[in-house]
Homo-oligomer: A and B are copies of this chain.
């Protein structure tokens, strides 16, 4: 929080993530409003006291008028339509998104010639629920919020988007789009794929298996409760990176199958998996304090710091 007046924020798509951005921004003192395609969703938000309408021209007209930061919170399949409206009604606003994949979003944004004020983003938070009803103002507290530092990103919009992420309670992870997409394939999209496969294996065991299931199955299949269309909208745009890590994982599991069959042992997998989980538990963020947006070579330096686990916890 700074002493200067808060900018305006216009959130397009008020589902779990977009809705939580709207709530968090409002809670942080932003002038915040939103657009939601379904009037039922908009109405639910208004019933909770938020300014959400189902007329995108009106929401974007206000954004242009107030020089709002626009946050695109629709899933990938709806992106292009929303960008067309932005191009029509608010082409000069600073623009970010909260979609789960970054390179494909940047490509569509540039196709709509909206790249100049654009900074791709991805807050790493969620639940297996979806929709406005699941949104909360504190969803991003302590979360990592990835922000693109690809070539061509400008310092002014980057600063504004980073400030919103910080004001929502997150820390900012600077990352190149392609590296982001490969990373989330590992820690977000593969978990979905494995959870679905585990659920299938459990249910194939019928009432007996499901009745005996305890914590490991419950936690391992949690994200399989996510609506199928949403899982597809999250994973499929990242097909190339997901394919690569899925191939790796098939190899790892195939090796375990071989040693289990041949020697009755899964020692290699279990020891590697345990060491990896310990790496995860021991992994610590560290604060990037020596690079500011706009500094000489700031994009490359932030990308390099983010790659080593650095995060931005504050802006001047």
Contacts and interface: CB of A to CB of B under 8 A. Distances in A.
A309 B211 contact: yes
A266 B201 contact: no
B196 A216 contact: no
Label chain A's interface by main secondary structure.
helix
B201 A216 contact: no
Interface in A251-270: 252-254, 256-257, 260-261, 264-267, 269-270
Contacts of A31: none
A184 B196 contact: no
Interface string A111-132: 0000000000000111100000
Interface residues of A, number: 100
Interface in A80-96: none
Contact of A183 (B179, B183, B208): B208
Nearest to A124: B214
Contact of A253 (B180, B197, B224): B197
Contacts of A202: 186-187, 190, 276, 280
Interface of A: 124-127, 143-144, 146, 173, 175, 179-180, 182-184, 186-188, 190-228, 231-232, 235-236, 239, 242-243, 245-250, 252-254, 256-257, 260-261, 264-267, 269-281, 283, 285, 306-309, 311
